[in-house]
Amino acid sequence: MEQDPREKIFNGCFNEGTDGWFSDDRTPVSAVDGKLRADVPGGTTNPWEAIIGQNDILLQQGRPYTLSFSASASRPVRVRVRVQPGEPPFDPAPLTQDVDLGPEQSYTFTFTSGLDTDRGQVVFQIGGNSEAWVFDVDDVSLIGGDPLPPYVPDTGPRVRVNQVGYLPSGPKRATVVTDSPEPIPWQVNNSAGVAVAAGASTPRGPDASSGQQVHTVDFSAVTQPGTGYTLSADGETSYPFDISATIYDQLRSDALHFFYIQRSGIAIEDALAPGYARPPGHLGAPPNHGDTSVPCQPGTGDYELDVHGGWYDAGDQGKYVVNGGIATHQLLSQHERTQTVTGANPDPLGDGSLRIPEHGNGVPDILDEARWELEFLLRMQVPADQPLAGMAHHKIHDEKWTGLPLSPDQDGEVRLLHPPSTAATLNLAATAAKGARLYAPFDQDFAARCLTAARTAWTAAQAHPANLASPTDATGGGAYDDDQVTDEFYWAAAELFITTGEQPYLDALRASPYWTGEAFPPDGFSWQQVAAVGRIDLATVPNTLPDADRAAARASVQAAADQYLATARDQAYGMPLTQDEYEWGSNSVILNKLAVIATAFDLTGDQRYRDGVLEGLDYLFGRNALNQSYVTGYGAHHSHNQHSRLYGHQLNPALPAPPAGSIAGGPNTGLEDPKAKRLLLDYTVKPPKRPEPQFCYVDDIQSWSTNEVAINWNSALAWIISFAADQ
């Protein structure tokens, strides 16, 4: 059916399953034959005790509306339909209508809105019956008010630069959106408005990831440090930028400070994080039901574990071993790089460098921060006297999804341990093995504890090589499922071998398909594809691999870096991402490819790699189709409404926005949340059309699939910014 431009309901025909609709916990809903079906429980007294509805409905005061739907009931019942405010006390409601249901029938009601809100609700209150029944509803439509204005992002000037700036000795490129078929003149002005360089652009034709006609500009010849430079071309002037050797220094610290603020199980101190102070989350104090004695999911184990601590994963407050694993690895690697690479500066990561409570304990602060998570990962290991001893539980999170915003100490949901998985167990083995060698100079006991846990986990994973996390276990938390764990085996074997030098781990490496196989996926490594991180460590960290094997590992890093650089060269916006790779967390895909390119630079000193990393960063700081810096607090136009229960400023001005240095997930062509769909899909055509890949992003707190924060994304940012700041 053609959508009326004044339509206020999203997915009212249920062509997209139950997307956009909520129900209460006791009323399961599903999309059946293009309708929504609810199995309504019996034994309730009030209509609102069973409920289905949609949030974020735009209602304008004094405007007429028409609500229509078709519905049926498996036996005659009376239900109540309401259009109401989205928050308690849910009154005054512009429409309250009792409806007698039976065989399928269409219903139409008109009303005038007394409310002015973009957070209205349409609800079907279907409780109040002693016996269970089945409710079917379809073609839900609310027409009225003014047509929804099409969402037009603020893309600023058509001249796109790195809004933070450029290193004096680094490449300096920009992208100009213009239809001109011929080169156009450009000019760089300093802050006094004096022209310091000029030239002509290079036409690049149509750009596949943005759908735009673009030119590139190269002003690398400008090397004089200064603030407030601008680039002008085609009658437009870019946002200002700096040229400075220190542009990434503060971000090196901020990107890591994010982890302190995401900590679970500790009070966040205002003195360390002004504006972010909060009581400890999930330490067993009511209303929390976690995380000090957390039971297993029903039917999966008869014990409880103390799994307090660690970092909250993202905008949710779950804790997932596979994502905690890669994030911990990247922090540990950031530290380890300072020990293996000449020119990598340990001081900005050392004791006293970060804003954390462990100052002055003689341990590099970055190791203190990583240990906060590593201790949690160790707690997730199944005790020796239980079935699957030595494995790691896949995750712990709320039984049901919680709303936004939510301070973790106020979370009243039951939290459960989800079954152990091979992938989680190998993440524990890999990170604990790496921790064993890195903490040894500072805390022998902890290092020994790590190594024992890593060995135990490795043995347990070998005994249970195919315990896969369920892809459907995604209520109240993410699934983080992975049906391929040979890469996790390879990574864990690599870390255990590097730390111990023992033959069985080398044998396991040799037996792995990754020993000679491609470890670097075309779309970069990730929490799910981890062979690359094992390979990078074999190539960079001192170990006892035979020389030829070590040389092969190094050559493979370089070959992957060459491939990623070739991708970047094809992009008029300069980043190593093809138009098909704008997936969930696409910014981290770029960052992780940049880490491979950076490692090639560390190994070879070849400037092409260093320049490729720096140019790739330009995209993340504003040289892109949206003119958007994806890092909070950095650049003239930066993301600041990321999806998070902690940083709820967009919903409640009394709450903080994400802290400076938080990176957003980035454009995602899947548009996997209702907000992104409603704003970005063009419903005037069938099937609804999404914008070009680079435009599949919205800086809105409700768009979790394009605009969330996450520990594995900030760990990727922190690693690469440390590299860039070292240059």
Does 411 interact with ligand 9MR (rule: CB under 6 A)?
no
Shortest Å, Cβ 396 to ligand 9MR: 12
Residue closer to ligand 9MR by CB (options 487, 618) is 487
Candidate residues 133, 186, 584, 647; the one interacting with ligand 9MR per rule CB under 6 A: 584
Stretch that binds ligand 9MR, among 33-41, 354-362, 472-480, 549-557 (CB under 6 A): 472-480
Residue closer to ligand 9MR by CB (options 272, 479) is 479
Q: What angle do CA 313, 697, 614 make, to 5 degrees?
A: 80
Which of 589, 617, 620 lies closest to 725, judged by CA? 617
Residues making up the chain, counted from first to last: 727
Shortest Å, Cβ 669 to ligand 9MR: 12
270 tagged catalytic: no
Residue closer to ligand 9MR by CB (options 247, 469) is 469
Which distant-in-sequence residues (6+ apart) come within 8 Å of 346 by Cβ? 335, 338, 339, 364
Torsion of CA 589, 542, 552, 505, to 10 degrees: -90
Q: CA-CA distance, 680 to 703, in Å (whole number)?
A: 11
Shortest Å, Cβ 90 to ligand 9MR: 29
Q: CA-CA distance, 352 to 346, in Å (whole number)?
A: 12
Q: Say if CB 63 and CB 98 are below 8 A apart.
A: no
Residue closer to ligand 9MR by CB (options 364, 667) is 667
Stretch that binds ligand 9MR, among 104-112, 267-275, 473-481, 596-604 (CB under 6 A): 473-481
Shortest Å, Cβ 612 to ligand 9MR: 24
Q: Say if CB 454 and CB 425 are below 8 A apart.
A: no
Q: Which of residues 230-269 bind ligand 9MR (CB under 6 A)?
A: none
Shortest Å, Cβ 228 to ligand 9MR: 36
Task: Assign 268 to helix, strand or coil.
Answer: strand
Stretch that binds ligand 9MR, among 224-232, 477-485, 504-512, 630-638 (CB under 6 A): 477-485
The size of the interface with ligand 9MR (CB under 6 A), counted in residues, is: 13
Residue closer to ligand 9MR by CB (options 325, 585) is 585
Q: Which of residues 650-679 bind ligand 9MR (CB under 6 A)?
A: 665
Q: Which of residues 299-338 bind ligand 9MR (CB under 6 A)?
A: 313-314, 316, 318
Shortest Å, Cβ 403 to ligand 9MR: 15
Q: Please provide the DSSP assignment of 534-575 as one string.
A: HHHHHHHS-----HHHHHHHHHHHHHHHHHHHHHHHH-TT--
Q: CA-CA distance, 75 to 103, in Å (whole number)?
A: 8
Shortest Å, Cβ 478 to ligand 9MR: 2
Q: Say if CB 259 and CB 233 are below 8 A apart.
A: no
Q: Are strands 241-243 and 165-166 parallel, antiparallel or unpaired?
A: parallel
Phi, psi (deg, nearest 5) at residue 431: -75, -35
Q: Say if CB 327 and CB 312 are below 8 A apart.
A: no
Does 478 interact with ligand 9MR (rule: CB under 6 A)?
yes
Shortest Å, Cβ 585 to ligand 9MR: 5
Stretch that binds ligand 9MR, among 135-143, 250-258, 478-486, 531-539 (CB under 6 A): 478-486
Shortest Å, Cβ 163 to ligand 9MR: 25
Residue closer to ligand 9MR by CB (options 314, 423) is 314
Shortest Å, Cβ 280 to ligand 9MR: 21
Torsion of CA 396, 398, 404, 405, to 10 degrees: -70
Residue closer to ligand 9MR by CB (options 277, 479) is 479
Residue closer to ligand 9MR by CB (options 524, 612) is 524
Which of 379, 505, 394 lies closest to 450, judged by CA? 379
Shortest Å, Cβ 274 to ligand 9MR: 26
Q: Which of 640, 643, 673, 700 is catalytic?
A: 643
Residue closer to ligand 9MR by CB (options 44, 526) is 526
Q: What angle do CA 495, 500, 506 make, to 5 degrees?
A: 65
Shortest Å, Cβ 247 to ligand 9MR: 28
Q: Which of 49, 291, 316, 482 is catalytic?
A: 316
Q: CA-CA distance, 429 to 42, in Å (whole number)?
A: 48
445 tagged catalytic: no
Q: CB under 8 Å, gap of 24 or more: what pairs does 482-485 form?
A: 482/322, 482/423, 482/528, 484/528, 485/422, 485/423, 485/426
| Six-digit token string for 265 | 């199980």
Residue closer to ligand 9MR by CB (options 288, 703) is 703
Q: Which of 242, 369, 699, 700 is catalytic?
A: 699
Closest residue to ligand 9MR in the complex (CB):
478
Does 710 interact with ligand 9MR (rule: CB under 6 A)?
yes
Q: Are strands 420-421 and 395-398 parallel, antiparallel or unpaired?
A: unpaired
Candidate residues 132, 479, 559, 636; the one interacting with ligand 9MR per rule CB under 6 A: 479
699 tagged catalytic: yes
Residue closer to ligand 9MR by CB (options 368, 482) is 482
Candidate residues 24, 138, 358, 708; the one interacting with ligand 9MR per rule CB under 6 A: 708
Stretch that binds ligand 9MR, among 89-97, 295-303, 557-565, 704-712 (CB under 6 A): 704-712
Q: Say if CB 657 and CB 640 are below 8 A apart.
A: yes
Residue closer to ligand 9MR by CB (options 474, 636) is 474
Does 47 interact with ligand 9MR (rule: CB under 6 A)?
no
Q: CA-CA distance, 552 to 557, in Å (whole number)?
A: 9
Which of 211, 380, 214, 359 lies closest to 294, judged by CA? 380
| Six-digit token string for 168 | 């004096």
Q: Say if CB 449 and CB 456 are below 8 A apart.
A: no
359 tagged catalytic: no
Candidate residues 20, 127, 585, 659; the one interacting with ligand 9MR per rule CB under 6 A: 585
> Which alpha helices (DSSP H) does 474-629 contain, by range?
486-500, 503-511, 531-540, 547-570, 586-604, 607-620
Applying CB under 6 A, the residues found at the interface with ligand 9MR are 313-314, 316, 318, 478-480, 584-585, 665, 704, 708, 710
Residues identified as active-site: 316, 643, 699, 708
